[in-house]
A and B are shown apart, each in its own frame.
Chain A
Amino acid sequence: MFFHLQLEREIELQPKHFGPRLAEILHKKLRTEIEGTCSGRYGFIIAVTDILNTGKGTIRDGTGSATFKVQYMCLVFRPFRGEVIDCVVSSVNKVGFFADAGPLQLFVSNHLIPDDFDFVSTDEPAFVSADEEVRVQAGAEVRMRIVGTRMDATEIFCVGTIKENYLGVINPAAAAVG
């Protein structure tokens, strides 16, 4: 799920940047430091959308650098248990398959793949339905429900299921491209 959050971060700037472009450099630094990172609390910080307040800088003794408390709005992506999410299959093996949803990696075990799907490894490894109509293989787009999330300070990992109605491959065409 995506959220639009207001967060705060201290940014340190060297004295050489103190000048007319200070605000611009500060914003740029915030973006490079924060976009694309993952926090155990909020999830993946996808993009900074707005900068609300940079506050007054405080000069640090000894170094001459200044720190700014920057308040900003950002888009975060955080998976929840029970959430339904669309992903792209990245690899398939006999234990299950891995998929990506943007920066998030998910795993679906063969317990949570419908029983009429069988693992085949001739050619491209895939889980294939009994009627051979549906193939879960690298590149396919899959809709799954998140069964568990594991969030650490810098990493999020999920396990999911496609063993429910309306879940499973939603775009087999992507498989040919992948």
Chain B
Amino acid sequence: MLEQELADSDSEDDAINALTPAPAEASDAWDARPGRKRLRTGAVAAESCPPHPGFMHGMCIRCGAVLEDDEATGLALRYIHSGLRLSTAEAERVRQRSMRRVMDSGKLLLVLDLDHTLLNSTRLTDVCDEAGTLLDALLEREARAGAPPSLHRLAHLNLWTKLRPGVRAFLEAVARHFELHIYTHGDADYARAMAALLDPGGRLFAERVISQADSQQQHVKDLGVVLGAEAAAVIVDDTAAVWPQHAANLLLVERYIFFPACAERFGSTQRALLDEGRDEDPARGMLAAALRVLLEVHAGVFAAREGDPARDARVALAAARRRVLAGVRLCFSAVIPRGAASPQAHALWRLAEELGAQVADAPDEATTHVVSARDRTDKVLWARQHARFAVSTLWLHSCGVLWCKPDEQDFPVAEQRPLQLAPVRSEAQDLAAAMAGAGGGRGWASKPL
């Protein structure tokens, strides 16, 4: 057998004869030379191939058969290994297994975005001299303070990176209840560098760091690659548009914009925190709110028994959302144009209902809040007369962002002019800006779409 293989290998060398005969099965491994790939079934561990569960560099991971060509079928898992692909059935099997494993250990899966969610990065060259001086001073101040710094200057990546205040405590807290994944549209080098900043011990994320090249489609993130079952996964991201398939799993967070270049990119009227000379309050900011919701979701899922449809992260997330304004009955004033065909379709109406509030066209006995864009409307006056809350639309926005009911006294209806809102941008524009900001604006993602 070995001799045959060698004979037709146009071998000019006697050297090869020095190879002592290998075990019988070993002999056919010989023809794995370039250009001579044949499909063979394995003698060693023919469990139930085909179908082959997956391939490593075109070789079955169960029976060792080598594919005729490098057919690109199934799901590529480059973040695990550059040559690894799983068949659709195998990916589903791993997904179900990992859901059982994670839930048996009392955890859920958490998929975390990096840019504007856990941190904010910007290129060194995008920082003007004035801001650079401020950053250098902050860097020095944090170094002197001795605590783990939140600002980092990464010369090898040409980046400034600012961690969102409280992010390390947030990760420590959620890691007790979730298996953590990073999923970013930045490149692999960037993802690894950020994971190292967030998790210096490497305990929280292990190999579960997914970057731009791992996605199946450009600009789309996919739970498929995470190998996480949808019923057990929660996503925390600042950009809804990258998760078209998984809106029900998404906890959308307010963007963390520390560097001026990033504020410009999103065209927001909100200034960058650096420009304002302040930072988010870790106790009251977005991450604190997200942590509260995540713990609520976790508790909700595990309170439901096996087989109960409520044992689903998506159901628990929606339920947590509906509890925000449970018991509130509100009506709008000066928000929805009079005579609008379907006021229920208005974004704020839908938001209120999503948060569990009842919405009525006109105030009645049970009304608790009047949400108004202007002061002294009939409905606002009615609210004052009847000792009900009259609040600005910003109050409702805050409820939506922070998943709680902030103090109504902090949101009085605007005195004269209507609240100035940011220019309306399309979802596509927003997505483009988020992509441009991925990885701090390095590489392909920073190119205009």
Q: Which residues of A contact B (CB under 8 A)?
A: 1, 3-8, 40-42, 78-83, 91, 93-96, 98, 107, 109-112, 118-123, 125, 145-153, 157, 159, 161, 163
- 7 A-B pairs closest in CB distance: A148-B64, A80-B26, A82-B25, A109-B61, A147-B64, A81-B29, A151-B32
Classify chain B: how many residues form its interface, as a range.
35 or more
The B168-217 residues at the A interface (CB cut-off 8 A) are 179, 203, 206-207
Closest to A148 in B: B64
Given known pairs A80-B23, A82-B24, the reply for A125 and B59 (CB within 8 Å) is no
Whether A81 pairs with B42 at a CB distance below 8 angstroms is yes
The B45-71 residues at the A interface (CB cut-off 8 A) are 45, 47, 53-54, 56-66
Q: Which of A111, A121, A125 contacts B61 (CB 8 A)?
A: A111
Tell me the complex Cα distance, A161–B43, Å.
Answer: 12
**Chain A-chain B contacts (Cβ-Cβ < 8 Å), number:** 139
Binds A, one of B14-22, B229-237, B376-384: B14-22
Whether A96 pairs with B32 at a CB distance below 8 angstroms is no
Given known pairs A82-B25, A95-B80, the reply for A163 and B42 (CB within 8 Å) is no
Whether B19 pairs with A3 at a CB distance below 8 angstroms is yes
Whether B101 pairs with A118 at a CB distance below 8 angstroms is yes
Residues of B within 8 A of A78 (CB): 19
Residues of A within 8 A of B43 (CB): 82
Residues of A within 8 A of B26 (CB): 80-83
Whether B45 pairs with A112 at a CB distance below 8 angstroms is yes
Tell me the complex Cα distance, A42–B30, Å.
Answer: 10
Whether A93 pairs with B42 at a CB distance below 8 angstroms is no
Tell me the complex Cα distance, A8–B98, Å.
Answer: 52
Asked if B33 lies at the interface with its beta carbon under 8 angstroms from chain A, I say: yes
Whether B62 pairs with A109 at a CB distance below 8 angstroms is yes
Whether A159 pairs with B60 at a CB distance below 8 angstroms is yes
Residues of B within 8 A of A145 (CB): 44
Binds A, one of B81-89, B148-156, B307-315, B357-365: B81-89
Q: Which of A80, A109, A119 contacts B22 (CB 8 A)?
A: A80
Name the residue in B18, B28, B44, B207 with the highest tally of chain A Cβ atoms < 10 Å from its Cβ.
B44
Closest to A156 in B: B32
Tell me the complex Cα distance, A107–B64, Å.
Answer: 11
Tell me the complex Cα distance, A149–B54, Å.
Answer: 15
A81 to chain B, nearest CB (A): 4
Given known pairs A109-B54, A152-B34, the reply for A147 and B45 (CB within 8 Å) is yes
Whether A83 pairs with B23 at a CB distance below 8 angstroms is yes
Residues of A within 8 A of B34 (CB): 40, 152-153
Sampled A-B contacts (5; CB under 8 Å): A82-B44, A120-B105, A147-B44, A148-B59, A150-B57
Whether A125 pairs with B64 at a CB distance below 8 angstroms is no
Whether B45 pairs with A161 at a CB distance below 8 angstroms is yes
Whether A7 pairs with B33 at a CB distance below 8 angstroms is no
Asked if B227 lies at the interface with its beta carbon under 8 angstroms from chain A, I say: yes
Residues of A within 8 A of B24 (CB): 82
Tell me the complex Cα distance, A83–B22, Å.
Answer: 9
Whether B56 pairs with A107 at a CB distance below 8 angstroms is yes
Q: Which of B19, B25, B45, B61 contacts A107 (CB 8 A)?
A: B61
Q: Which of B18, B28, B203, B207 contacts A93 (CB 8 A)?
A: B207
Given known pairs A81-B64, A159-B56, the reply for A125 and B18 (CB within 8 Å) is no
Asked if B77 lies at the interface with its beta carbon under 8 angstroms from chain A, I say: yes
Residues of A within 8 A of B60 (CB): 148, 159
Given known pairs A95-B54, A161-B45, the reply for A150 and B86 (CB within 8 Å) is no
Asked if B94 lies at the interface with its beta carbon under 8 angstroms from chain A, I say: yes
B103 to chain A, nearest CB (A): 13
Whether B33 pairs with A151 at a CB distance below 8 angstroms is yes
Whether A159 pairs with B33 at a CB distance below 8 angstroms is no
